[in-house]
Structures are given as C-alpha cells and as structure tokens.
Amino acid sequence: MRFLCRTWLYRLAGALLVFTTLAASLAAIDSPQEQLRSADAAFHAGYAAEKSGDLSTAREQFEKAVLLAPDIAEGHSALGSVLVQLGQYKQAIHELVRALELKAGDRTAQINLAIAYEQSGDHEKSLTLFRSLDGNDASPLPASVVIFYIRALSASQQTELAMAKTQSALAAAPDNSTLHDTLGSLEAQRKDWDDAASQFKEAVRLDPNFAEAHLHLGLALIMQQKTSEAVQELTAAAELSPQSALVQVEFGKALIANGENAKAVSVLQRVLTRDPSSRDAKYQLALAFQASGQERQAIPFFQEVVAGDPHNAPALTNLGVALVQTGKSKDAIPLYQRALKETPTDPLVHQDLGVAYLQESDLDDAVGEFRTGLQLAPEVYELHYDLGLALKLKDDIAAAASELELAARLNPSSPDPPYTLGILDMQRGRFDDAVEELKIALQLRPENGDGWATLGSVYKQENKLAEAIDALQKAIKLMPNQPGPHITLAGILAQQGQNLEAASERNKAANLTRLAISRQRATFTANTGSALLLKGQITDAIERYEEAVSSDPTYIEAHRGLAAALERAGRTAEAQAEKQKAAQLEQAQP
C-alpha cells in the first residue's frame, strides 16, 4: 500500500499564480503597433480566462500572445502555468524553460517549472529548483506549492526531510487539510498507522469533502484492522469520487475484507463498465465472486488477469484455487507450478499444489508438497493436517495420527483434526478414543451432520444405543436428504425390537436413495447435454437436458442448461420458462 506517491488529487489554494502584464515589456519591442496591441490583448484575455477557470481558452490566448511576441518571458511563463494546470507537463517544461532563458529571475516560472518536473517524475530537477526557491525567507513558498516540494522529497526517499518540511508548513498553516493529509501519507510510509490515521482524520475534519483524505484514512484503518470503520471512510471517498477507478477499486477491496461480497461485486462491475481494461478491478471482482462461493463466475476474470500478467503469483494461485473448488484440479496443477517459479518459498502455494494433487489421487506428490511446505513453515497447522490426511489415504496410519495430533495441538479451535482423528480411531477399532475425538470436533462444529452420523455409528459399535439414537437423530435433522443415518437408526431400532419404527426408517432411506440415484442420473445426463451444447449440437443437447429434468425435476443446473439450449435454438419463451423454474428452485432452497 502506498500513500502520497500514488496518483492523488492536489488542490491549489486559490489561484496558483499572479501574472504580470505584458504592456511594459511589449513597449520595448520594435514591432508594428498593431501587433503589440494584439499580443497585449491576447495576454489579458488569457489571464481573464484563466482566472475564471476556462483553462482551454486561456491556453489558446497565451499561445497567441507567445506567437505574436516570442521574446517576452511573461507570455511563455503564463502559457507554461496553464499547461501545468492542464497536466500537459512536457509542453509546460518547454515553455517555462524558455521563459527562464529570457528572464532568469522569474520566480513564478521557477515555481511552475519545479511543479512540472515533479509531476513528470523528474524529481532531482524539481528538488534543485525548490531548494533555491525555499531559501528566500522574504518570499516563502505557499502551502499549495510546498506540497509538491514534499512530494519530490518523498519520491527521492528523503522521508525525514519531507516530514520536517510538512511539519514546518503546518506550523504556518495549521488548518490546511491537504498538509495534514500529506503528513499522514508520510507517516503511512513509515508504517506508523496510528499517527497516519490521526492526520487523515484531521484532514477530513477540516474538509469533509476531501475525497483523497477519506481514501487514505480508509486504507490506514484497514492496516489497523478496523475494517468496518474503513468501509465507512471508503464509502465517503467513493461517493465523493464516483468516477475514480482507484477509489472505487479500493472501496471494493474493503467491502470484500468486511464480508460484503455482493456489494463489492456491484461496485467493481460498475468500474469495469466504465473501464473494461482495468486489471485491478477484474482481479478484485474475481476475489469477490470467489469469496461469495461463486467460483465459476470468478474463473474467467482470474484468467483475464493471468493472461495480461502471466507472472502474477497471487492471481495464478487464486485461479488455481477456484479451479480446485470447481473440481478441475488437473487444470490447477500447472498454474500452481508457475506460481512456485515466481515464489518458490511460499509455503501456502506448496499447500495448494498438494491439495490439487490430493484431489487427483496423486498421494506421493501431495505428500511431497506438504512436506516441502512444512520445511518452510513448520508451525502452519493446515499443512500438518493436510499431510496427515494424505498419509491416512496412503494407509500410513501411525504417521497420519502423529501429524493430525500435532495439527490439533497447534490449533485447538479447529474441528478438522479431531474429526479426522475420530475417523482414524474408529477404523482402528479404538472406539473410546474415537468418541472423545468426535465429541471435541462436534463441540467445535455442532452443525457437522456427518460427524453426528459417525458418532452414532461408533456408539452403536459400543452398544450404547440411547447415545447412538440421539446422535443419529441430530444427524438426520442436519442432513434430511441423506439415507445413511436412517439406515443405521433402523438397525438400532430393530435391535431394540421396535420393528414398525425400524421399517419406517428403512422406507425413508429407500426413498432418499432413489432420489440420490435420480440426481446422479440427472447430473450425468445434464453434463452430456453441456458437452453437446459446446459442440453446437443443440437439438441433441436439448434432448439430454430434458432427460435430466425428467430424472430430477428439482435439479437447478438441468433447468439452466435447458434454458441455454432452448435460447440457442430460438425458442425464447420456453427458455424463459426454464429460467423461471431454476430461479424458483434456487429461492426455495434453504
């Protein structure tokens, strides 16, 4: 995060310069009287236009004056000043250098030339001029100019001198909001977030409409981990600068950090509507989609970012994560490998690559990546957990248990290690240990339906039937569509002689099993339809999607696929009907 040296808004207090009339200088030129009068009139017209804020007309008039009287310093100086205000720094430098060749002591031209050098990135030339200007105690630089001097010092890594200059300027102008913002930016460069935030708050207090100060304050609050307060400040900045892509993207980032992903998506989509090429907006939009569980929508934006910046390790990694989350681990593996070429010592990338290998059932490579990650970060509990899981799948039970136990010690608040240890103990026939581990896991995550079902099975093995029934009923409440807990419960009820109740549970399990089979059939058929649609075989795709809907009328993706195929076939009304069915099903889901 950078302050001050980023592009930011500079506001000059009042008119930047006071121009001197050309009349006296023109009188000394041996030129036709009419030309003299035209040049003088053009100069005065330019000055009047500049004073009223019409910089375009001012430029035209000063250019005319310079053309009529090219050897008069004031004309070049005036034109250079307007060009600075228009952001035309290269042209401004040309005019101001010429003005100083004609009149070396023109302080106005020197100030504008120093500003033009600073704004164009030539900080050394800027500092040379500012130092000479700053030495004149009889005519101190105004605060609106000192800010550019400070910026040049900061860009030249002279932070302490820049701070001293800012504090001196503030002593003379304590109510200058821009100076407070500047000092805050310098404090931020030193990572002194408390003092930085204090200065930004003062800038905002003095000028509530100072968008840049709201932005800087928001960023400082994020660094202080005061995310909700940061969002308030960045909201103000965004409202004050609706056209600034920088402000809007930072606002979107803060919303993501605050968990307001849907709002972030909306903000970032508006940025891309105005600037479709904004890589920052695309990346943050992808992160917002990913954070809200919409990985499929995130993938195309990550891909665009990576295509434009192929060495961007975070983007490569996040794209890999999104692909793993959507079951495309094979595609993710080369992306993680590319990310590791950029950041070979990042343990989390090794972990992500290991997870991708794990999903591809490549256990040896998964173990290798997890162990490499642990060499780099031995205290990361997730790496120990993942390694334990991989070793469990390799049937190296003792080593797996050791890693899982270490993961549990490193992070006692995570339910995953004790849950997996419980499964491991159950498989080893250590039922008492399994119960203890599962109870710890369920205390940490009581909504884990699979955990309750497993605990119920363990209690059944121990013949603790009352405890088993209680655990299984909790599992059924959390997972009403899973047949497994009903089957286990049916066995216990039959064991207790409650045959009618047992039969009821078996019937429920059978119905749920039929539904599961129907969903599997619908999923397979819908995937076939999607493949056909990609090949342009629209009629065949429609048939497959219709089969999927017939197999499972509640399968949302089948309705969506059918809608897309019907739309491609020009059957718009039917397509719309399928979209509505999908939307209704999605709304009805808990």
**pLDDT tens digits for range 524-540:** 888 898 888 888 889 88
Q: What is the mean pLDDT of residues 534-547?
A: 88
Q: Which residue has the higher pLDDT, 306 or 519?
A: 306
Q: What are the structure tokens assigned to 386, written together?
A: 């993942």
Predicted local distance difference test score (pLDDT) of residue 11: 28
Same-domain pairing of 5 and 149: yes
Q: Is position 2 within any domain?
A: yes
Q: Identify the DSSP state of 394.
A: T
pLDDT at 264 over 90: yes
Predicted local distance difference test score (pLDDT) of residue 6: 31
Predicted local distance difference test score (pLDDT) of residue 458: 95
Q: What percent of the chain has pLDDT over 90?
A: 76
pLDDT at 590 over 90: no
Q: What are the structure tokens assigned to 348, written together?
A: 């989390």
Q: What is the largest CA-CA distance in the chain?
A: 124
Q: Is position 430 within any domain?
A: no
Average pLDDT, the chain: 90
Residue range 62-118, pLDDT digits in tens: 999 999 989 899 999 999 999 999 999 999 999 999 999 999 989 999 999 999 999
DSSP string covering 285-346, please? HHHHHHHTT-HHHHHHHHHHHHHH-TT-HHHHHHHHHHHHHTT-HHHHHHHHHHHHHH-TT-
Q: Is position 310 within any domain?
A: yes
Q: Is position 396 within any domain?
A: no
Q: Identify the DSSP state of 392.
A: H
pLDDT at 551 over 90: no
Q: Is position 22 within any domain?
A: yes
Confidence class for position 272, pLDDT limits 50, 70, 90: very high
Predicted local distance difference test score (pLDDT) of residue 14: 29
Same-domain pairing of 247 and 98: no
Residue 474's contacts (CB-CB under 8 Å, 6 or more residues apart) are: 449, 452
Predicted local distance difference test score (pLDDT) of residue 377: 96
Confidence class for position 511, pLDDT limits 50, 70, 90: confident
Number of compact structural domains in the chain: 3
Residue range 477-507, pLDDT digits in tens: 999 989 999 999 999 999 999 999 999 999 9
Predicted local distance difference test score (pLDDT) of residue 562: 92
Q: Which of 123, 155, 173 is the last residue of a domain?
A: 173
Q: Which of 173, 188, 205 is the last residue of a domain?
A: 173
Q: Is position 431 within any domain?
A: no
Q: What is the mean pLDDT of residues 538-562?
A: 89
Q: What angle do CA 108, 11, 120 make, to 5 degrees?
A: 65
pLDDT at 28 over 50: no
pLDDT at 21 over 70: no
Could you identify the residue written with the tokens 């508006």? 270
Q: Which of 306, 340, 374 is the last residue of a domain?
A: 340
Q: Is position 135 within any domain?
A: yes
Same-domain pairing of 248 and 157: no
Same-domain pairing of 134 and 281: no
Decide: helix, strand or coil at residue 122: coil
Q: Which of 8-17, 50-59, 78-87 has the weakest average pLDDT?
A: 8-17
Which residue range is the domain that position 11 belongs to?
1-173
CA atoms within 13 A on the CB side of 159: 14
Predicted local distance difference test score (pLDDT) of residue 136: 64
pLDDT at 167 over 90: yes
Here the CATH number for the domain that contains residue 299 is: 1.25.40.10
